[in-house]
Amino acid sequence: MKTARRGDVVDVNYVKRFVDGTTVTSSKRGPTRVTVGVDHPRMPGLGMALEGMAVGATTVKRFEQQAYGQPNSAKVHKLHRARFEATAELSIGRWVRVRSRNGKMCLVRVLDIDDEMIFVETHHRWDAHLVEMKVELMAIV
């Protein structure tokens, strides 16, 4: 039986599961095309994990550092309370939306709160979190 080798283009179905219980799946879009040995932008670390898999095989892989990276202290900011909507539920650990300087809405996590300032981090919400992926190799193209 042929197995996927570095450089092969393959089609996979996947389910990504994050530590917070959130899942993302390819089921609505159909198979995702990945080059074995090359990182995929939405699924870092997956391309390397496919080497040696046979068509029809399913595997569960765990990724941490390769997935969304480590938090960066440069992404911790102190924002004035007025930057947040009056109805925003501000509590430590909560993810909330805030308007950036260029007017776009950003998702930030509240780290600390005082009378006038809110300390937030702006990294990807899954930085340094374990990502578990169930992957089925559908075809070697």
DSSP bridge partners of 35: 9
pLDDT tens across 61-107, in order? 776 554 455 555 667 889 988 888 878 888 888 888 888 778 888 88
Please tell me which residue, 9 or 42, carries the higher pLDDT value. 9
Bridging pattern class, strands 76-80 and 95-99: unpaired
What's the farthest any 2 CA atoms get from each other in the chain? 65
> Residue 6 has which token pair?
């570095």
pLDDT at 43 over 80: no
| Residue 130 pLDDT | 56
pLDDT band at residue 45, thresholds of 50, 70 and 90? confident
Report yes or no: 50 and 4 within 8 Å, Cβ to Cβ. yes
What is the Cα–Cα distance from 132 to 21, expressed in whole angstroms? 10
pLDDT at 60 over 60: yes
Percent of the chain with pLDDT over 90: 24
| Residue 63 pLDDT | 64
Mean pLDDT within 52-65 = 81
pLDDT tens across 11-32, in order? 999 888 876 677 878 878 889 8
| Residue 57 pLDDT | 93
| Residue 67 pLDDT | 45
Report yes or no: 50 and 33 within 8 Å, Cβ to Cβ. no
How many CB atoms are located within 10 Å of the residue 131 CB?
21
In Å, how far are 73, 95, 129 from 92, measured between CA atoms?
17, 9, 18
The runs of H, that is alpha helices, within 3-129 are 46-49, 65-68
In Å, how far are 1, 18, 33, 111, 141 from 136, measured between CA atoms?
16, 18, 12, 38, 14
Amino acid at 61: K
